[in-house]
Chains A and B, each alone.
Chain A
């Protein structure tokens, strides 16, 4: 059917209209490309067929814009293909991104019976008002998620602060000061970033077990910043290099010490970069799972990700698991959407080069 339309529609509006009318007719006659369950109401059936026709028409109209009947030139043909791919791409990417997140939210707002009964029911019963958030209330009340949220929050904030305290001077030294081994340094920072966490996690687990740091928040706060310092240092040195050095030299000429120059000239100038780095580090610390999973056993000290991992058992209903996932995801998303500009910059700088 679609093929016929494509051929028939390769002219002005008239053949396209005819084709669509034929599609609608065939749909009503039961030959439609979409199958609608026989028990569906007539109205729904009509809506279904009309939607099929409408979107087929809209798509084809967009794709075949400027396409004239007869043999196509390479240009026109490729432009049409690209328009098709563009439309398909938007729908495809939006769908693959949105569906898992939607399933997450939807599952968290339903009850067990509704979930098992019809897994294809993506609708939400908004009629129950606040009862919709039952799982969240239960998580906070029975599963101690309020405390996990708080732990995750302050661990992440501490990680950001400690990381900055280490990375700012280091990055400044690598970017601005001349010393032997500077080149080697800026290279090896990235190298450290490439060491897999699981390789380090094993000896860290052993060392923490032996020194009694395992199962303490202190141990976690000790270890998180070190995993983020190399990235932060790398991002910041890229930014510091981009700053005009004349301003700093002027400060030095005026008799300020180096540290004073960093504090009152360089740092104020690099606030946007600091924001990016902080956000990025916060995100890493907030999302960190492996170390929290290996090092924390006491439910009183769980971070959010560790708490969610503990929900993954057959005794805990799935809506609770998903509510936990939403609780972990939401703050990051809000931060991300609110400060998207910084975040995007942070991500770009953090991964290859500034």
Chain B
């Protein structure tokens, strides 16, 4: 027999109390700096990439066209040179884009008199104003104003000391809301190149990830017992991951150099090959080499995680298996592997995404030559080597979209393995 509870007390309080609201406010306050920073450096650039991908823009058009002016005095004013004149040299910074409604203003110094005024310019008090109209791309011109100076001029500021201000309206491709194009995408998807780049990326990513995982698993099994020097070996095996990529990449290049590399010298000494092999310069071999480098550099990471997981597996299970007469391989296959499956799948996806994103390694080893151009290197290649920022951004968009796809899979698996 229970007392009936009044209905308004049976439910927990709904909505936020003042305390909870204060807490939430504090939380947002604490997070705000990070949010702003991330928005500025991650979200904004990402939006910019999408924007630029639809713009016909090259490296050269990065700066919008602007009118440029240089001012100087020709002739000797102090000596009373009758032919002295004030000169403004004008030009359009862009070779092919127009600027409209250019105006120039400059302050006119005391004591300087113009004997004749350029028709485009008017002098109002101490301000010179010139209406210069529209300029074509590559426009150049001069304004010459013959001048004479009173003695008072030489006491005041020099005419060249005040900077003339010049303004004009130019169409900036980067920021304008028109001139969108699909040409960048057409260009990168055009021909077989894109598909070969995609193929190379997938080969590199799949084999690099799988190789690093398998090697990491092997290394973790080696170190999953305590012996003297275990800590030392563990530290040593992490070296490839911890060292700066630029240092180890160049070490590999030297080691496999076709002319003076030790690997080639050894192979020739052993009689395997009579001719030096250009490991990072031949077509299928270079891709295999960069994949090997990737495996070499990132097996430590998988090793670290797998080892951590292994050391948390209960040893009772193995003892029970020993009692039942399980052989060592059986123990690995039926006990260790299922326990490690969670971390292995998470590692695989994470490494897959990161390998997919990897730029430095291939860029340093081969520069994307000899059939090793992956998508990320292609961004650099299009934007900087071919000076086509728009096309580079288009490749970046493709990378980002694939990434979203991978992340969806990742989070699905991740939530399944949450209780790792």
List chain A positions with a Cβ less than 8 A from chain B: 74-75, 78-79, 82, 86, 89-90, 93-94, 96-101, 103-104, 107, 115-116, 118-120, 122, 165-167, 169-170, 172-174, 177-180, 182, 185, 187, 191-192, 194-200, 202-204, 206-207, 209-210, 223, 225-227, 229-230, 233, 258, 283, 286-287, 289-290, 304-305, 308-309, 312, 318, 321-322, 324-326, 328-329, 332-333, 336-337, 340, 343-344, 347-348, 351-353
CA distance A172 to B29 in the complex (A): 11
Binds A, one of B77-85, B124-132, B228-236, B279-287: B228-236
Who on chain A is nearest to B64 by CB? Answer: A210
**Is A101's CB under 8 angstroms from B239's CB?**
yes
Closest to A168 in B: B30
> Are A352 and B346 in touch, CB under 8 angstroms?
yes
Chain B's closest residue to A115 (CB) is: B260
Besides A100-B251, A198-B376, 11 new A-B residue pairs in contact (Cβ under 8 A), listed by A number:
A82-B328, A96-B296, A103-B254, A104-B251, A179-B23, A196-B359, A198-B380, A200-B41, A210-B62, A289-B246, A321-B250
Kindly list chain A residues whose C-beta atoms are within 8 Å of the C-beta of B259.
116
Interface residues of chain B: helix, strand, loop or mixed (majority):
helix
User: Which candidate, B43-51, B68-76, B90-98, B136-144, is the interface stretch facing chain A?
Assistant: B43-51
Residue pairs across A and B with Cβ atoms less than 8 A apart, 7 shown, are A122-B262, A172-B30, A178-B24, A195-B403, A209-B62, A340-B235, A348-B304
Complex CA gap A166/B28 in Å reads 13
Least Cβ distance of B370 to chain A in Å? Answer: 17
Cross-chain contact A197 with B357 (CB below 8 angstroms): yes
Q: How far, in angstroms, from A200 to B44 measured CA to CA in the complex?
A: 9
Question: Closest CB-CB distance, A78 to chain B, in whole Å?
Answer: 5
User: What CA separation (Å) do A44 and B356 show in the bound complex?
Assistant: 49
Total cross-chain contacts (CB, 8 A): 267
Given A174-B31, A347-B304, A332:B244 Cβ within 8 A: yes
A74→B329 CA distance, assembly (Å): 10
> Using a Cβ–Cβ cut-off of 8 Å, how many residues does chain B contribute to the interface with A?
94
Name the CB-closest residue of B to A306.
B246
Contact residues in A for B380 (Cβ distance below 8 Å): 198
Q: A89-B219, A198-B359, A309-B246 given as contacts; is B45 within 8 A of A336 (CB)? A: no
Contact A180 B24 (CB under 8 A): yes
> Please, which residues of chain A bring their CB within 8 A of the CB of B359?
196-198, 290
Which residues in A have their C-beta under 8 angstroms from that of B31?
Answer: 169-170, 173-174, 185
Which residues of chain B are within 8 angstroms of A196 by Cβ–Cβ distance?
356-357, 359, 376, 399-400, 403
Query: How far does the alpha carbon of A227 sit from the alpha carbon of B383 in the complex, in Å?
Result: 22
Within 8 A of A (CB), among B233-267: 233-248, 250-252, 254-255, 257, 259-262, 264-266
Q: Which residues of B contact A209 (CB under 8 A)?
A: 62-63
B242 lies within 8 A of A332 (CB): yes
Interchain CB contact under 8 A, B308 and A100: no
B binding-site residues for A, Cβ under 8 Å: 20, 23-24, 26-28, 30-31, 33-34, 37-38, 40-42, 44-46, 48-49, 52, 62-63, 174, 218-219, 221-222, 231, 233-248, 250-252, 254-255, 257, 259-262, 264-266, 269, 296, 301, 304-305, 308, 325, 327-329, 343, 346-347, 350, 353-354, 356-357, 359-360, 363-364, 376, 379-380, 383, 389, 392-393, 396, 399-400, 403, 407, 411, 420
Q: A200-B45, A286-B244, A352-B347 are in contact. Are A194 and B396 (CB under 8 A)?
A: no
- B62–chain A nearest beta-carbon distance, Å: 6
Q: List A contacts of B236 (CB < 8 A).
A: 94, 97-98
Residue of B nearest to A340 (CB): B235
CA distance A332 to B221 in the complex (A): 27
A204–B250 touching, CB < 8 Å: no
Q: Whole-angstrom distance between the alpha carbons of A207 and B221 in the complex?
A: 48
